[in-house]
Structure 1
Amino acid sequence: MDLAHLGHLELLTPRFDDSLRFFVDVMGMTVSGEAPGSAYLRAWDDYERYTLKLTAHETSGIRHFAFRTRSPQALERRAAALTAAGFGMGWTDGDLGHGRSFVCRDADGHTIELYYDTEWYDPPAGQKPALKNQAQRFPARGVNVRRLDHINLLAADIGANRIFFEQCLGMRTTEQIILDSGVEAGLWLTCTNKSYDIAYSREAHGIGDRFHHLTYALDSREDILRAADIFLEAGVHIETGPHKHAIQQTFFLYVYEPGGNRVELANAGARLVLAPDWKPIVWTEAERRRGQAWGLQTISSFHTHGTPPLPEGVDP
């Protein structure tokens, strides 16, 4: 339990200005910092300075994601364990809003950053909330996402990533999909009492280091239904939902931001895993063929669309 929570991610976009407008005007996020080619954004109840670093790039995808550790000592322990296991890449001086960090790669090649020292958000006068236990004033703009919830990555070898996160980072598997062949096809992991902080889906083409989606939380299902109307009015492509997942029971809505990355909204009332001896829930092929919780079939693009786009010549 050396990891405290998912801290942030760096998302790449070939349409930086359009993507920035999407996250600020439609998602309702706040710019809390800028750097050449990048903007740092936050949801209104994220306690850290930012949870999303948006960076201009020739293509879409994810550059890295980060976890905050529970203490400086926990950061040192994880760095030593990752180095010993051959996944470590070394130390950095940090980035805007957080101190030195240790960088590693997961079993599929995704870049992960671990840090402890961080900057708590200090809202300027126009953003100070009336309630002092709230990070920022409610923006009353667009969807008004509340906090970063989780991310989902694509991986060629789900089993290898499960072992990596369990053994090297001390996370717990809460649910998984295992095919009739015995191949692991889906994975949900937690480092908190939420039922998951990160998920992995099987990459159908055997290509590593690809991204499925990022998720911000809203307070209720009604907020997600309203968000669907807001996306509709803004001309945002709705991929699937609103509906309820069978796995993890999340009420969901998926859209594409202008750069091509998939974004999910989910209800903030996530299931909690309080049992210290929790045993992973295993879903079979037959159970997944039934679709989502209320029968909606999983849309085909959910298995084929990821970022960055597939290399030229690879059939989606």
Structure 2
Amino acid sequence: MPDPSPRHEVAHLGHVELRTPEPERSLDFFVRVLGLTENGTDGDSVYLRTWDDYEHHSLKLTAAKTSGAGRTAVRASSEDALERRVAALEERGLGVGWIDGDTGIGPTYLFRDPDGHELEIYWETERYTPPEHLRPALKNQAQAYPGRGNRVELCNPTGRLIFAPDWEPVTWTEAERAKGQAWGLKTIESFHTHGTPPVA
């Protein structure tokens, strides 16, 4: 019998909605600079997918009056897991209700986190297969996967991955952490001052 514990109920981050007051420039950035592929539109939104993505989209870019994150969607690990998570959300008073999911996504449940942010959880039974006319473009894209979030950061996955079973954990003190973002490097000032939505 499958383990019904919450740690196995959510498979992964599905997609993120990013709001932008400059939709044309934002679309150009994600397509031309980061190499995402446009995969349809719906009203003021454009769906974008990464190289070799097995879902319809990773990013939903939506025209808006100001920048900021819209809804974040997570994919349940199974249909049963989706039902259990919905029940748990409703029990905690966080549920909003079932909605029609984005294009290419199945039935979706809308809820709010304790801070009031809107999120979605869904279960998609079939792996997305891009139409034939998109496949050549996918083969020609850069091999680096873009970061997900309002501040776009690209990471090299071969950087600091430690899989040795005998590796001793490193404990960072508050004083060491204050020196910088990682490994003692100073955090660039804009990291603390530039973000979305803009703050007066």
The TM-score with structure 2 as length reference comes to 0.82
Instruction: Number of aligned residue pairs: give it.
Output: 189
- Which amino acid in structure 1 is aligned with residue 99 of structure 2? T
Return closer, same or farther for 1:38/1:272 CA change in 2, 3 Å cut-off.
farther
CA drift of 1:271 comes to: 4.2
In 2: Cα distance, 1:65 partner to 1:281 partner: 32
In 2: Cα distance, 1:115 partner to 1:300 partner: 38
Paired residue for 2:196?
307
Deviating runs (4+, > 6 A) in structure 1?
none
The answer to which structure, 1 or 2, has the higher relative contact order (CA under 8 A, 6+ apart) is 2
Does 72-81 or 288-297 show the bigger shift?
288-297
In 2: Cα distance, 1:67 partner to 1:148 partner: 18
CA drift of 1:138 comes to: 2.6
In 2: Cα distance, 1:84 partner to 1:283 partner: 38
1:147-176 deviation per Cα after TM superposition (whole angstroms, max 9, x unaligned): 466x5xxxxxxxxxxxxxxxxxxxxxxxxx
- Which amino acid in structure 1 is aligned with residue 140 of structure 2? P
Paired residue for 1:296?
185
2:73 corresponds to 1:66 = yes
Identical-residue share of aligned pairs (%): 52
3-state DSSP class of the match of 1:103? strand
In 2: Cα distance, 1:16 partner to 1:109 partner: 25
Does the CA-based 8 Å contact 1:38-1:54 persist in structure 2?
yes
Does the CA-based 8 Å contact 1:45-1:146 persist in structure 2?
no
2:131 corresponds to 1:104 = no
CA drift of 1:104 comes to: 1.4
3-state DSSP class of the match of 1:17? helix
In 2: Cα distance, 1:69 partner to 1:3 partner: 4
3-state DSSP class of the match of 1:80? helix
Paired residue for 2:19?
12
CA drift of 1:96 comes to: 0.3
3-state DSSP class of the match of 1:75? helix
RMSD across aligned positions (CA): 2.7
CA drift of 1:118 comes to: 5.6
Does the CA-based 8 Å contact 2:44-2:63 persist in structure 1?
yes
3-state DSSP class of the match of 1:53? strand
Match of 1:47 among 50, 54, 60: 54
Return closer, same or farther for 1:145/1:96 CA change in 2, 3 Å cut-off.
farther
1:252-278 deviation per Cα after TM superposition (whole angstroms, max 9, x unaligned): xxxxxxxxx4211112348488x9xxx
Give the gaps of 5 or more residues in structure 2: 1-7
CA drift of 1:307 comes to: 0.9
Paired residue for 2:28?
21
1:154-210 deviation per Cα after TM superposition (whole angstroms, max 9, x unaligned): xxxxxxxxxxxxxxxxxxxxxxxxxxxxxxxxxxxxxxxxxxxxxxxxxxxxxxxxx
Taking the TM superposition and a 5 Å limit, the aligned residue runs for 1:155-234 are 214=149
The TM-score with structure 1 as length reference comes to 0.54
2:43 corresponds to 1:36 = yes
Taking the TM superposition and a 5 Å limit, the aligned residue runs for 1:248-287 are 261-269=150-158, 271=161, 283-287=172-176
In 2: Cα distance, 1:50 partner to 1:285 partner: 39
Return closer, same or farther for 1:102/1:125 CA change in 2, 3 Å cut-off.
closer
- Which amino acid in structure 2 is aligned with residue 308 of structure 1? P
